[in-house]
Copies of this chain bind each other. A is one copy, B any other.
Amino acid sequence: MGADQQVSRSTASVFIKDVLVWRRGLSDLLLSDGKISAFDPDPKTIPDNAVIVDGKGQVLLPGLVEAHTHMDKTLLGMGWHPNSAGPLFIDKIDNERRIRREIGIDPRKQSEKQLRLSITKGSTHFRTHVDVDTECGLAGIEGLLATREAYRHMMDMEIVAFPQSGLMIRPGTYELLDAALHMGADVVGGLDPCAIDRAPKEHLDLIFGLSERHGKPVDIHLHEPAELGAFSMELIIERTRALGMQGHVTISHAFCLGMTDRSYARHLMSQLAQEKIAIMTHGAPSRPVPPIAECYEFGITVCSGSDGIRDSWGPYGNGDMLERAMILGLRNNFRRDDEVEMGLDACTYGGAKVMKSTKYGLDVGCDADLVMMPAKAIAHAVVERPANRTVFKKGSIVAKSGVIVEGPS
């Protein structure tokens, strides 16, 4: 039997002893062939060559799920660029294209930087929205496809072809989205059909048309507030129902669900639940946001993400989905342990469900995608955000104490 540091991509079994497994309690577990093969295994079943990891009572979570980010355009590691965008949403879109021209952003390199940072924080699953527009074309998609290929042994990734600069207002974008989906993008993205494209019916018909033709799910950024966002949400719900796309649609941000008219918001939530439309919230402290506890009551799948990290939109973010769970908790006034864990659920199981990762979780037979950290309770891990994390992907340690254990293959 070997020491911790010998765990690497191999067929060796791993025996993790003495960990506080979420929703299970103090346990030992055996990982074999990249999967969780047993909890509290009979000692006779542990192979002689199994690598032993002594958890010493640490918390064990399933790998964190970064279900909404923009890896193609982070400025991580590119020096500090003072943010000077104007106050409007469209100002930020225009500012971004300007910055991209001025400083040059290599999506392949930048996405790798963010991905490595996020893996050290314990994320094992990613859905990243990648800009597709008439200026950058498919460069972002190409960059992300290359990064995904280089790191496919360390994580799972879905790439969303995302018309950040608008679809109807930028002729040529539709064809680029179509090409991106042919190249390997997994999800059709969309953006504020009223506020940006000024043509909600047309925008959504094109997006859902691409989805139908490519057999790929939809994930639409919907920042539109209150009654305007609710109108766009109704149009999305109608199309999901008409096309039988239940379980294949995500609405990101969905700020309108935080609107003042709670009876209307609850009506929308009941419709979302019925059509199995998932919600992504990053718990923006400065905006009305979907109330997570109410979404759970309705049975809506809720996932979360860092959104942009250190980019032209804003300076914040570090890729830590435990910190995101804390922000969700702060935003939703979660104080009790079970509430804090609801926020964490969105940063783990909720995202995995949106990504249709059927082998995700802490049960026998699940992929051994895990993150372990020193904490006395699950909620404690969220508020403490320990730096010293051990991250497993399919049974192999891929990061430890903030450092990637293996390079790209």
Q: Which residue numbers of A lie inside 8 Å of B, CB to CB?
A: 79-80, 82-85, 283-287, 310, 313-318, 326-327, 329-333, 335-337, 340, 376-377, 379-380, 382-384, 387
When distances are taken between beta carbons in the complex, the residues of chain B under 8 Å from A335 are: 83, 85, 313-315
A253 to B387, CA, bound (A): 31
4 nearest CB pairs, A to B: A286-B333, A285-B285, A80-B376, A285-B331
Which residue of chain B has the shortest Cβ distance to A376 in the bound complex? B80
A83 to B337, CA, bound (A): 6
Q: Do B286 and A331 touch (CB < 8 A)? A: yes
When distances are taken between beta carbons in the complex, the residues of chain B under 8 Å from A330 are: 284-286, 316, 327
Which residue of chain B has the shortest Cβ distance to A314 in the bound complex? B335
When distances are taken between beta carbons in the complex, the residues of chain B under 8 Å from A383 are: 310, 315-318
When distances are taken between beta carbons in the complex, the residues of chain B under 8 Å from A85 are: 335-336
Q: A82: which of B287, B337, B382 is its contact (CB, 8 Å)? A: B337
Shortest beta-carbon distance, A82 to chain B, in Å?
Answer: 4
Shortest beta-carbon distance, A307 to chain B, in Å?
Answer: 11
When distances are taken between beta carbons in the complex, the residues of chain B under 8 Å from A326 are: 316
A332 to B376, CA, bound (A): 33
Shortest beta-carbon distance, A403 to chain B, in Å?
Answer: 15
When distances are taken between beta carbons in the complex, the residues of chain B under 8 Å from A284 are: 330
7 additional A-B residue pairs with CB within 8 Å, beyond A82-B337, A83-B379, A310-B383: A80-B376, A83-B337, A286-B331, A315-B380, A316-B329, A316-B330, A327-B330
Shortest beta-carbon distance, A247 to chain B, in Å?
Answer: 31
Shortest beta-carbon distance, A347 to chain B, in Å?
Answer: 16
When distances are taken between beta carbons in the complex, the residues of chain B under 8 Å from A318 are: 383-384
When distances are taken between beta carbons in the complex, the residues of chain B under 8 Å from A337 are: 82-84, 315
Q: Do A336 and B285 touch (CB < 8 A)? A: no
A285 to B310, CA, bound (A): 20
Among A313, A315, A340, A377, the one with the most B-chain Cβ atoms within 10 Å of its Cβ is: A315
Q: Do B376 and A336 touch (CB < 8 A)? A: no
Among A313, A327, A330, the one with the most B-chain Cβ atoms within 10 Å of its Cβ is: A330
If A315-B380, A383-B315 touch, whether A83 touches B336 (CB-CB below 8 Å) is yes
A283 to B327, CA, bound (A): 12
Q: Do B315 and A340 touch (CB < 8 A)? A: yes
Q: A315: which of B83, B283, B331, B379 is its contact (CB, 8 Å)? A: B379
Shortest beta-carbon distance, A287 to chain B, in Å?
Answer: 8
Q: Do A336 and B80 touch (CB < 8 A)? A: no
If A310-B383, A315-B380 touch, whether A285 touches B327 (CB-CB below 8 Å) is yes
A12 to B83, CA, bound (A): 41
When distances are taken between beta carbons in the complex, the residues of chain B under 8 Å from A283 are: 285
Shortest beta-carbon distance, A292 to chain B, in Å?
Answer: 11
A287 to B326, CA, bound (A): 16
Among A82, A327, A335, A380, the one with the most B-chain Cβ atoms within 10 Å of its Cβ is: A335
Q: Do B79 and A376 touch (CB < 8 A)? A: yes
Which residue of chain B has the shortest Cβ distance to A337 in the bound complex? B82
When distances are taken between beta carbons in the complex, the residues of chain B under 8 Å from A315 are: 335, 337, 340, 379-380, 382-383
When distances are taken between beta carbons in the complex, the residues of chain B under 8 Å from A82 are: 336-337, 377, 379
A152 to B305, CA, bound (A): 43
When distances are taken between beta carbons in the complex, the residues of chain B under 8 Å from A285 are: 283, 285, 327, 330-331
Shortest beta-carbon distance, A75 to chain B, in Å?
Answer: 11
